[in-house]
Amino acid sequence: MTEPKPAAVAPGFSGQVVVVTGGATGLGRAIAHEFGRAGCKVAFCWYEMDDRDVEASALLTETTLSSQGVQVYAARCDVRDRVQVEHFIADVIRHFGSIHYLVNNAGIAHDGALWRLTPQDWASVLETNVTGAFNCLASCAPHFRAQRSGKVVSVSAHQAQRPGFGVANYAASKAALEGLTRAAAVELGASNVNVNAVAPGFVHTERLDLLPSDLIERTRKRAALGRLAEPEDIARVVLFLCSEAARHITGQTIVVDGGLSLE
């Protein structure tokens, strides 16, 4: 993979602090790089997965960011565990002094027909994708309220509204995440905190490589733009939602699927 090149610092982001969950790989890694190029200090967390060496990927992401002059803090954290999340957020604040943006990116999928999903398949996806985001939101909320500012962006998916076959747990988790986004926007709005979500379609990440090639090709042809997203396409929308240009947007889910949902 070609490493992102350093870019000019984006106005308003210099010296700000972003927390990206699941920031070692895939979309989370692209988001961390996007904020780093904008001039932010980047904190990200990661957690082991059975099918990949996430710790090695975390070290690579941390090293690459540092080599580009980005101040970075990375730590292992299971977002399903509220105590671990609270410790991670506290460590970020001790390390950088503040948090300005939270990106709830950590997520997993265990696909299968709903009658074949085990209780563990269901629980692990909901606990990671929904409870994990809630834990991070709840842990950051007191800090955001005290400083009377903050931006939160959660990564949903187009399956929240247009599920295909075999994604009952994943679609339910992302629909719940969008509901959490709207509720948090209501509760934190008085503290000048914006809470939004992005809903990507299919994105060229490691997870896409696990899908059948014919499914990927059919999806590409169905999209109005005739292509799938690159991670940077989503990361730039996340950055926009954290910018002052989006200061009057809250409680919304921005669909970034190349027109796939127009079918």
Q: How does pLDDT run across 167-200, given as a tens digit for each residue?
A: 999 999 999 999 999 999 999 999 999 999 999 9
Residue 7 has pLDDT above 70, yes or no: no
Kindly list the structural domains of the chain, giving each domain's residue range(s) and its CATH number in brackets, ordered by start: 17-257 (3.40.50.720)
Q: Indicate the pairing of strand 101-104 with strand 72-76.
A: unpaired
pLDDT for residue 112 is more than 80: yes
- d(Cα 109, Cα 156) in Å, to the nearest integer? 12
Q: What angle do CA 104, 13, 131 make, to 5 degrees?
A: 10
pLDDT band at 2 (very low <50, low <70, confident <90, very high): very low
100: pLDDT strictly greater than 60 = yes
Indicate which residues carry an active-site annotation: 170
Query: What pTM, to 2 d.p., does this model score?
Result: 0.93
Return the DSSP state at 195.
Answer: E
Alpha carbons 98 and 92: distance in angstroms, whole number:
7
